Structure formats: C-alpha cells, structure tokens
Amino acid sequence: ETGVTQSPTHLIKTRGQQVTLRCSSQSGHNTVSWYQQALGQGPQFIFQYYREEENGRGNFPPRFSGLQFPNYSSELNVNALELDDSALYLCASSLATGTSVKETQYFGPGTRLLVL
C-alpha cells in the first residue's frame, strides 16, 4: 500500500465523451504526476503538478488537462475521448522541496478506462 488512492477503479465511456479521473496523494506529498499505460506498454508521462501548477508535460494533446487542489489531490480530465484513450491511468505522488523534486514516486492502483 502506497497511500495513493484513485477513483474510479474502472470506467466505460463512448467516443466523444469527457472523463474526469481523481487521485489523492500520499500524506505529505505535494507533487502529482499522471501516466497513461496502454495494454502491453510501459507508463507514458502525461503531466506533473506541483503547488497547483503544471510542472512538466509529456507528448499528449491539449484535450488532456489537469488540476491540483490545495490539499494536493488531483484530477485528470480528458475531452473528446478517442478509442486509443483506452488505457490504465496511473497517478503517482512525490515530495518536492524548493526546486528539487525527490526522486521517488509512489503509484496508485490506477483507473482502467475503456472507450467504446
């Protein structure tokens, strides 16, 4: 158990719909990263939030957006869903102090999204 929780565990949507996934960080962690893991692949970095601001972004289109709240929990929003968005979405929390981000990320169990 890492202390990182995600909801929902599973979700089915249709093409064109919008989805919001949620993540609660491990206690004491102020940085949240989101990853997409397609079947048979390693996790791909979507973006990272630190102190409620985006702190880095991977190669994902703008329809992938996020939020981080004052309590450091986070949301991932995906608009105009496509079939290829079907994947396991993982959230990871870590601790950053000043300009230095601690090296260890702790992952939640993920939300499995199926787009039909």
With contacts defined by CB under 8 A, name the span among 13-21, 67-75, 77-85, 107-115 that binds other proteins.
Answer: 107-115
Cα–Cα distance between 27 and 46 in angstroms, integer?
Answer: 22
Binding of other proteins by 98 (CB under 8 A): no
Could you say whether residue 8 binds other proteins (CB under 8 A)? no
CA distances to 3, 41, 108 from 27, rounded to whole Å, are 7, 29, 13
Is 42 among the residues that bind other proteins (CB under 8 A)? yes
69 makes contact with other proteins (CB under 8 A): no
Q: Tell me how crowded residue 22 is: count the other CB atoms within 10 A of its CB.
A: 17
Closest to other proteins by CB, 15 vs 33, is 33
Per CB under 8 A, the list member of 3, 61, 102, 114 interacting with other proteins is 102
Examine residue 109 and tell whether it contacts other proteins (CB under 8 A). yes
Taking alpha carbons only, the member of 85, 86, 87 closest to residue 63 is 85
Residue 101, beta-bridge partner list: 96
Asked whether the beta carbons of 21 and 35 are under 8 A apart, the reply is no
> Does 45 participate in binding other proteins (rule CB under 8 A)?
yes
- Count of residues that bind other proteins according to CB under 8 A: 26
DSSP at 84: G
Interface residues with other proteins (CB under 8 A)?
Answer: 2, 4, 6, 33, 40-45, 48, 55-56, 90, 92, 94, 101-110
